[in-house]
């Protein structure tokens, strides 16, 4: 029988703090509840856009706010979380004095997919909280390499959680018969080379030269300098695209571009790129912003954006090398 998430966590070395294991279980429970809410949303009618924007000027969907509010319920975290920061909130939100951890999340990533029944997900990152004092925003501004755990849950045909506690990436799925999260893939490994890329091609004219060169060479296929055909996939959901890459390889690119709105990239360093980069690296892939490793970037603001290139090693290295 497949091990459950709690059996998996129990079997980890004693160096992994028991409170961290318990927090991962709390996170898995929160994701299960969010998944159920997403699943029911056509019936409850909670898929629409709200007449409000988040702090980054993006129109919020009802479910963005509902899922975010679910993550703020203090009883979920059993005193282990001092404060949280979310893509959907202006600033940090305190949860419990003395909590050992900070949570960072995007409650519903890819929310433009909600009303078309496409894959969406919850992305999360866990950091150590400061001891003996109140949490400030600066406590969240740590480079991604300091994350103690990270992962995402994809709400697709299956509800699947990819998790890392810094020693490998593991996949779990909800077994509805057992009412449990169970291990479905041990030590996930991304194939090193790939012939598949993911990028929003409609932005082609806005890209900078290195990204244009890389994609043009892929598109040229057998007749171009790469000498092989490439395939393209774009789900408009980072979680969905990353899940595919963790399954059969590939490279995901959301670059900075020449538009005023694109000069810092679209995706957020803390809520999206850091946790996904940790999951990818722990599965043997790499993640850069075109120049440096994502996990080395020292954030200066909670909602900081970044360009991102991640996935199979060889392709990420090539795109990064084209940036010179």
Under a CB-based contact definition with an 8 Å cutoff, are residues 275 and 152 in contact?
yes
**Minimum CB distance to Mg ion, residue 111 (Å):** 7
Binding Mg ion by CB under 5 A: which of 62, 88, 106, 281?
106
Q: Return the sign of the alpha-carbon dihedral for residues 292, 310, 168, 182.
A: positive
CB 233 within 8 A of CB 268: no
Q: Which residues of 217-228 are buried (b: 16+ CB within 10 A; e: fewer)?
A: bbeeeeeeebee
Whole-number minimum distance, CB 257 to ligand AHM, in Å? 10
Residue 109 in contact with Mg ion, rule: CB under 5 A: yes
Task: Please say which residue, 39 or 321, places its beta carbon nearer to ligand AHM.
Answer: 39
DSSP class of residue 111? G
68 assigned to a ligand binding site: no
Among the listed residues 12, 293, 255, the one whose alpha carbon sits nearest the alpha carbon of residue 145:
293
Please check whether residue 31 is in contact with residue 122, taking contact to mean a CB–CB distance below 8 angstroms.
yes
Distances (CA, A) of 87 to 67, 193, 212: 12, 32, 29
Cβ 237 to ligand AHM, closest distance in Å? 5
Q: Which CB sits closer to ligand AHM, 87 or 281?
A: 87
Q: Of 134 and 301, which CB lies nearer to ligand AHM in the complex structure?
A: 301
State the residues that interact with ligand AHM by CB under 6 A: 58, 87, 106, 109-112, 200, 236-238, 254, 266
The listed partner (Mg ion, ligand AHM, none) that binds 128, CB under 5 to 8 Å by sort, is none
266 is in an annotated binding site: yes
Indicate the residue among 77 and 254 with the shorter CB distance to ligand AHM.
Answer: 254
- 61 known member of a binding site: no
Minimum Å distance from CB 207 to ligand AHM? 13
Measured from the CB atom, the residue of 249 and 265 that comes closer to ligand AHM is: 265
* Residue 200 interface partner, choices Mg ion, ligand AHM, none, CB cut-off 5-8 Å depending on type: ligand AHM
Nearer to Mg ion, 62 or 106 (CB): 106
Contact in structure between 35 and 66 (CB atoms under 8 Å): no
The answer on whether 113 is annotated among ligand-binding residues is no
Query: Cβ neighbours of residue 304 under 8 Å, at least 6 residues apart?
Result: 264, 268, 269, 270
Q: Pick from ligand AHM, Mg ion, none: which does 237 bind, CB < 5 to 8 A by kind?
A: ligand AHM
Residue 177 marked ligand-binding: no
State the Cα angle at 148 between 144 and 153, rounded to 5°.
85
Q: Which stretch binds Mg ion (CB under 5 A): 42-50, 101-109, 286-294, 313-321?
A: 101-109
Of the ranges 98-106, 189-197, 216-224, 285-293, which one interacts with Mg ion (CB under 5 A)?
98-106
Contacts (Cβ under 8 Å, ≥6 apart) of 18: none
The phi and psi torsions of 177 (rounded to 5 degrees) equal: -70, -40
Instruction: Give the whole-angstrom CA distance, residue 64 versus residue 85.
Output: 14
Other CB atoms within 10 A of residue 54 CB? 18
Q: Which residues sit at the interface with Mg ion, rule CB under 5 A?
A: 106, 109
Annotated binding site for Mg(2+): 87, 106, 108-109, 272
Annotated binding site: 87, 106, 108-112, 200, 266, 272
């Amino acid at each position: 029988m497949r091990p459950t998430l709690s059996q998996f966590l129990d079997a980890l070395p004693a160096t992994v703090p028991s409170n961290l294991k318990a927090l991962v279980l709390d996170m898995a429970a929160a994701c299960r509840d969010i998944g159920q809410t997403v699943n029911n949303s056509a019936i409850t009618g909670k898929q629409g856009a709200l007449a409000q924007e988040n702090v980054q000027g993006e129109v919020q969907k009802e479910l963005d706010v509902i899922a975010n509010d679910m993550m703020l319920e203090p009883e979920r975290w059993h005193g282990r979380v001092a404060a949280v920061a979310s893509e959907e909130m202006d600033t940090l939100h305190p949860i419990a004095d003395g909590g050992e951890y900070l949570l960072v999340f995007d409650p519903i990533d890819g929310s433009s997919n909600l009303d078309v029944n496409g894959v969406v997900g919850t992305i999360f990152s866990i950091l150590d909280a400061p001891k003996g004092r109140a949490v400030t925003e600066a406590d969240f501004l740590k480079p991604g390499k300091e994350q103690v755990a990270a992962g995402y849950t994809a709400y697709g045909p299956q509800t699947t959680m990819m998790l890392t506690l810094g020693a490998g990436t593991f996949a779990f799925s909800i077994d509805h018969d057992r009412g449990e999260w169970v291990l479905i893939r041990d030590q996930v490994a991304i194939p090193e080379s790939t012939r598949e890329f993911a990028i929003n091609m409609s932005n082609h004219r806005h890209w900078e030269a290195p990204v244009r060169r890389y994609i043009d060479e892929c598109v040229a296929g057998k007749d171009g300098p790469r000498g092989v055909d490439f395939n393209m996939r774009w789900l408009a959901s980072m979680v969905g695209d990353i899940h595919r890459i963790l399954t059969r390889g590939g490279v995901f690119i959301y670059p900075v571009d020449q538009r005023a709105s694109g000069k810092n990239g679209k995706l957020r360093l803390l809520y999206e790129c850091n946790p996904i980069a940790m999951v990818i690296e722990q599965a043997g892939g790499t993640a850069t912003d075109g120049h440096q490793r994502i996990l080395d970037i020292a954030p200066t603001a909670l909602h900081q954006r970044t360009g991102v290139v991640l996935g199979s090693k060889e392709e990420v290295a090539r795109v990064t090398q084209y940036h010179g």
